[in-house]
Homo-oligomer: A and B are copies of this chain.
Amino acid sequence: MTEFVIPRSALQKILSPGSVAVIGASDDPFRIGGRPIGYMLSQGFQGQIWPVNPTRPQVQGLTSYASIDALPGVPDVAVVAVAASGVLPVIESLGQRGTGAAIVFSAGFAEAGPQGALLEQEMVASARRHGMRILGPNSLGMLNPRNGFYGSFVSSVELGFPLSGQVAVLSQSGAYGGHILALTRARGIGLSACVMTGNECDLSLGEMIQAMVEDDQTHVIAVYSEGIRDGASLMQALEAARLAHKPVVMMKVGSSEIGSAAAQSHTASIAGNDAITDAVLAEFGVVRATSTEHMLDVARLATRRVFPVSNSLGVLTVSGGAGVIISDAAEPLGLALTEMPQASQERLKAMLPFASPRNPVDTTAQFLNDMSLLGQFTDAVVEEGNYGSLLGFFTYTAGTPSTAPKLRKELKRVREKHPDRLFVLSLLATPEWVQTYEDDGFTVFEDPHRAVAAIAAMHTFGCAFARAPRQAAPSLQGLHAPDTPLNEAQAKHWLGQAGIQCAPEAVCLGADAAVEAAQRLGFPVVLKIVSPDILHKSEIGGVLLDVASAEQVRAGFDTLMSRARTAVPHARLDGVLVARQLSGGVECIMGLTQDPVFGPVAMFGLGGIFVEVLKDVVFHRCPFGPDVAETMIRSIRGAPLLLGARGRAPVDIAALAQMLSRLSVVGDLYRDQVQAIDLNPVLAMPQGQGAYAVDAVVEIKTQ
């Protein structure tokens, strides 16, 4: 058995195989079965390459073998480049020989229809019998520029082979993976691996991320995703990355309606609710890239491995205009341009009366006459500003022959004193000069907007890595799983056991009892029909508001019973619910849904038009404690309404957070029994007066 560079796990073996069999090997280095061999030969792969081709004794100058059985050893990895119809016996043979993993290029599986899906299942079953893992099928394969392993036929390497480095690129799309590959080279980003996951019949995107987390030489993980198939393995890997302080930047496409439809037709996977995806990625500190450029900008800066927790950004500029551009870009991304200390400002002002020493700290063009000014200003910003990160805008003055050498000298001097700070430069220069600044320890961006966006991402990573453990979710005891549909009263009773408070109420079987209950609860009251067969009461006129007297209760009781009988003749009617009509609170909505990818997810929003028209809601995976719940509540756009905007009384946020957190626990505990819960509205009362679910619908999973 070969020694592996990184023997830590089975997944690592596929990154650094000692021997690679190529099934369907071609002598033509431009054919699918010829490219991997040609690439490995040209890139100096140190392991064994074993072409398998029954018709040729030699392939691209290498000894070729007639069959898998004829191979001189057990391959660590096999590349399978035969037609789909021929894949099954290949997989079986490879498995029998004890091959570690197969990379299946062949298309014509699940992506092609039900027959292909069946074939894919058989292939997986065969591999599993022998303990062999599969990457693909319908995959462009994977490669490792560190050791020249190219188990891939990606043709974008014709534009130049990828550089070796610390960024792992994982892509669910082959063509787009190749696109990214070419871009990394153009941007000087070195790779530790590039994996195109294909149909993910066995090895999932999550498992591949996990492998990169475990790979010592990978420092940054960049992911292109079209649809998560295995939410559990993905989330496990993302949490492992967070704990290992390995930043993950992910471009998850399919946010638009058409995009989502296209993603489904393309990958036959579940695109999921984009807002839920957003919430889950944020939970694990993943930066969701808005474009390919954004993803690569973030990955490139992350290779510096400086992740500030503080959101303060110190800006040094030679142009007031650029200072404004940077301020504009920083504000919406949550970076704060906090002022320089007063004493520093005064000192700088004394040095250069026309300067703006606040932050952005603007030397004006005056530094061109005295470059030591620039050095002193930079010293001040770096040493006195106490900023989480630093951005210098020097535009062409850092690249033009008449100024660049002097400017570089000043910056280098400061940098050498503070090598551990996140320090980005926005400038224009020749590639050689850019490289000089990079070698000095700066990361260089041409565009100040993109520099700011990349810095903001480093702060996101910093916060996620430094995050204190969160409060435990409340533990619920004595609650039993519901197994039959619940009417409103039952639903509220059940939720009440979980500590989710509802408005004071009683279920009454007759009009007399209803009058008695109303008198006890206090007028006005609300009357609602109670039936496990009528989930959406208001649609059949099953809710009466502002019922203000005994006579109105009596009449209302009869009205509701008769409306229900007319609308749903065979509904089981369990009476009428009489509830005190609360007033003075703010209407909210809480919900729970079982996401097919990420499991139970809780939602919070303001009620009425806010949720209906503005979709002003926030999601979080269940379960979570009241701290997370409160953060959710405060994050919606309409939050000022809850916090006391314009002289309103602030509501009982603590009670809301408790309720939301308990809802999340219920959603987690009963993920197999409960499909969805709607608490709509929840009335958030003034501070100290609690929060009450006014209506509750619990949807039981159909078996």
Contacts and interface: CB of A to CB of B under 8 A. Distances in A.
A70 B448 CA distance: 47
A73 to B, nearest CB: 33
A155 interface: yes
Contact of A322 (B179, B325, B640): B179
Contact of A324 (B253, B428, B613): B253
Interface stretch (A303-311, A329-337, A344-352): A329-337
Contacts of A257: 331
Given A112-B354, A321-B175, A266 B614 contact: no
Contact of A173 (B179, B320, B637): B320
Nearest to A181: B396
Contacts of A356: 262, 265-266
Given A266-B323, A328-B253, A362-B266, A428 B156 contact: yes
The SS class assigned to the A binding surface is: helix
Interface in A609-626: 609, 612-614
A400 interface: yes
Contacts of A171: 321
A476 interface: no
Contacts of A609: 638, 641, 645
Given A226-B324, A323-B262, A159 B331 contact: no
Nearest to A360: B262
Contacts of A159: 396, 399-400, 428-430
Contact of A178 (B155, B175, B395, B430): B395
Contacts of A436: none
A402 interface: yes
A318 B176 CA distance: 9
Looking at A30, A258, A332, A612, the one whose CB has the most chain B CB atoms below 10 A away is A258
A53 interface: no
A389 to B, nearest CB: 16
A291 B447 contact: yes
A365 interface: yes
A66 B640 CA distance: 69
Interface in A14-30: 30
A39 interface: no
A254 interface: yes
Interface in A346-399: 354, 356, 360, 362, 365, 395-397, 399
Interface string A390-428: 000001110111110000000000000000000000001
Interface string A140-175: 000000000000000110110000000000011111
Contacts of A612: 640, 645-646
A266 B331 contact: no
A318 B175 CA distance: 8
Contact of A328 (B259, B319, B330, B449): B259
A332 B395 contact: no
Given A258-B331, A637-B613, A638-B614, A400 B156 contact: yes
Contacts of A403: 155
A279 interface: no
A182 interface: yes
A267 interface: yes
A331 B256 contact: yes
Taking residues whose C-beta sits less than 8 angstroms from the other chain, chain A's interface range is 35 or more
A400 B226 contact: no
Residue of A291, A318, A399, A402 with most partner-chain B CB within 10 A? A291
A49 interface: no
Contacts of A321: 171-173, 175-176, 224, 226, 253, 266
Nearest to A448: B292
B449 A293 contact: yes
A529 interface: no
A182 B328 CA distance: 22
Nearest to A453: B291
A319 B428 contact: no
Interface string A433-473: 00000000000001111100000000000000000000000
A255 interface: yes
A70 B656 CA distance: 84
Interface string A257-273: 11110110111000000
A277 interface: no
B258 A337 contact: yes
A327 interface: yes
Given A253-B328, A292-B447, A332-B256, A320 B262 contact: yes
A554 to B, nearest CB: 26
A320 B365 CA distance: 49
A325 to B, nearest CB: 5
B646 A395 contact: no
Nearest to A606: B609
Contacts of A450: 291, 293
B256 A155 contact: no
Contacts of A292: 325, 447-449
B253 A155 contact: no
A183 interface: yes
A69 B131 CA distance: 95
Contacts of A448: 292
A428 B183 contact: yes
A57 to B, nearest CB: 26
B178 A396 contact: yes
Nearest to A396: B156
Given A609-B638, A638-B613, A262 B400 contact: no
A460 to B, nearest CB: 19
17 contacts: A156-B395, A158-B402, A159-B400, A175-B395, A176-B322, A186-B428, A253-B321, A253-B324, A253-B328, A254-B324, A259-B328, A260-B324, A262-B360, A266-B320, A266-B356, A612-B640, A613-B640
Given A155-B396, A171-B321, A254-B324, 4 more contacts: A175-B365, A259-B328, A291-B447, A609-B641
Q: Which 7 pairs show the lowest CB-CB distances between chains A and B? A: A173-B321, A175-B319, A266-B320, A259-B327, A256-B331, A158-B400, A156-B396
Interface of A: 30, 112, 155-156, 158-159, 171-176, 178-179, 182-183, 186, 224, 226, 253-260, 262-263, 265-267, 290-293, 318-325, 327-332, 337, 354, 356, 360, 362, 365, 395-397, 399-403, 428-430, 446-450, 609, 612-614, 637-638, 640-641, 645-646
